[in-house]
Amino acid sequence: MPVGTRGAVKGLTPPMLREAGAAMLLANAFHLHLRPGEETVAALGGLHALMAWDGPILTDSGGFQVFSIAGSKVDGDGVTVRSPVDGSPVRLTPESVVGIEEALGPDVAMPLDHCPPWPCSEEEALASVERTVRWLERSAAAKRRDDMALFGIVQGSVYPGLREECARAVAALGLPGNAVGGASVGEPRERSLPAVRAAVAVLPADRPRYLMGVGEPGDLLDAVAEGFDLFDCVLPTRNGRNGLALTRDGPVHLRNASASADPAPLDPACPCLACRRYSRGALRHLFQSGEMLGPILASLHNLTCVLGLLREAREAVLSGRYAAFREESLRRYRGNTASPGTAGDDRLPPL
């Protein structure tokens, strides 16, 4: 899912998102609650009208953002946080978040959960799991709209036993979909991977399994192999805005001088506008000149690349050849990069 935190995917129109292959978008209930407010969104016709998007929309509760804000105060009932807009106190409870999301009108809503930061002790992770499950039960009881699906979220940091325990409790609620959260908050990947595996192994396979916050191409292919179906991440568009283009053969740094006179497209096999009509040299010129078209084209290309990769992964799964597809794709991608924007040892190890 392309990420439109405040009701828009930065720099891209809905037709461009459709062209890139997007079927579903993500928005953030916490940020939309702050500005313009869920009442305003409802008065404007709901989130679909605000975003001019006629496909499905998922709203994240903002739990990750809330707990990453310095000074957040958590208690058994909810969390109090300072608004990043004006510094005023904002009180969130499982029930109030569901009410915000029902006013916004998404198709899928994520509940308020407790996402622990890293580093995180096992005792802290256990408290997060217990709070997340209690809050999920309260969220499910508070939901009123039948046209909005509520998903569960699994926490547990890097501890496989806690992840499995939380996943079993979440699965027992019989919700239409489930997610694994808190798996990309700075923890070592070699520790998070066994914990993520423990969670997904017990989540129902007959409904969507959503890995939150993961969008690096190699990590996506690994996650599909584990059984995940749904993903979101700001990485494709954020990297695009900063001049880092994703390709099947690794990233291309468009600000590098080596691209200045390169007449080749980013990827001759890519159908996006950036690859059909612009060279690497032309794209570098746009970035070096500060032209807004550069970040737009690079963002469009990155989404096209990632969504195309997942479309091919889906086809490979259905045809029973995913293992070979993944191996070849990872060979091409990881053979040419350590991992875009990260150190080489910060990516998921091959499974």
pLDDT of residue 229: 97
| 171 and 206 co-located in one domain | yes
Residues sharing a CB contact under 8 Å with residue 131, sequence separation 6 or more, in sequence order = 74, 76, 114
- Same structural domain for residues 121 and 205? yes
Quote the tokens at residue 99.
């009410």
**Is residue 350 helix, strand or coil?**
coil
Q: Is 2 within the bounds of a domain?
A: no
Which DSSP category does 351 fall into? -
Count of C-beta atoms within a 10 Å radius of residue 139: 27
Same domain, 147 and 90: yes
**Are 288 and 155 part of one and the same domain?**
no
Q: Annotate 114-123 with b (16+ C-beta within 10 A) or e (fewer).
A: bbbeeebeee
Domain boundary among 212, 233, 254: 233
Widest distance between CA atoms in the chain: 60
Residues marked active site are found at: 60, 232
**Strand 57-60 versus strand 79-82 pairing type:** unpaired
Helices assigned H by DSSP within the chain: 14-20, 29-34, 38-43, 47-51, 63-68, 94-104, 122-142, 160-171, 189-200, 217-226, 235-241, 273-277, 280-288, 293-318, 322-334
The rounded average pLDDT for each run of 10 residues, N- to C-terminus, in the chain (351 residues) is: 98 98 98 98 98 98 85 93 94 98 98 94 97 98 98 98 98 98 91 96 98 95 97 97 97 96 97 98 98 98 98 98 97 70 32 28
Q: How far is CA 85 from CA 31, 81, 89, 254, in A?
A: 9, 11, 11, 33
For residue 271, what are the domain limits?
238-346
**Which residues, 6+ apart, have CB-to-CB distance to 106 below 8 Å?**
27, 47, 56, 57, 58, 59, 148
Choose among 152, 156, 107, 150: nearest CA to 128. 156
- Position 351 in a domain: no
Q: Are residues 155 and 31 in the same domain?
A: yes
Identify the pLDDT of residue 65.
81
Is 94 within a domain? yes
Number of domains in the chain: 2
234: left (phi over 0), alpha (psi -120 to 50) or beta: alpha
Q: Are 158 and 195 in contact (CB under 8 A)?
A: yes
Residue 7 lies in a domain: no
Domain limit, last residue, from 210, 233, 256: 233
C-alpha span between 86 and 88 (Å, rounded) = 6
Asked whether the bond before 119 is cis by omega within 30 degrees of 0, the reply is: yes
5 in a structural domain: no
Beta carbons of 346 and 189 less than 8 angstroms apart:
yes
Q: Are residues 57 and 176 in the same domain?
A: yes
Q: Do residues 133 and 274 both lie within one domain?
A: no
Task: Give the whole-angstrom CA distance, residue 104 versus residue 96.
Answer: 12
Residue whose tokens read 């053979």: 335
Tell me how far apart the alpha carbons of residues 64 and 186 are, in angstroms, rounded to a whole number. Answer: 13
Let me know whether 209 and 244 are in one domain.
no
Residue 134 is assigned to a structural domain of this protein: yes
Contact 124, 116 (CB under 8 A): yes
Is the same domain home to 165 and 268?
Answer: no
pLDDT at 348: 32
| pTM of structure | 0.93
In a domain, 6, yes or no: no
Task: Answer yes or no: is 327 within a domain.
Answer: yes
What is the residue whose two structure tokens read 């997610």?
179
Give yes or no: residues 203 and 225 share one domain: yes
Based on the fold, state whether residues 289 and 216 are members of the same structural domain.
Answer: no
Do residues 101 and 133 both lie within one domain?
yes
The last residue of one of the domains, among 233, 250, 273, is: 233
pLDDT at 337: 55
CATH number of the domain bearing residue 39? 3.20.20.105
**Three-state SS for 217?**
helix
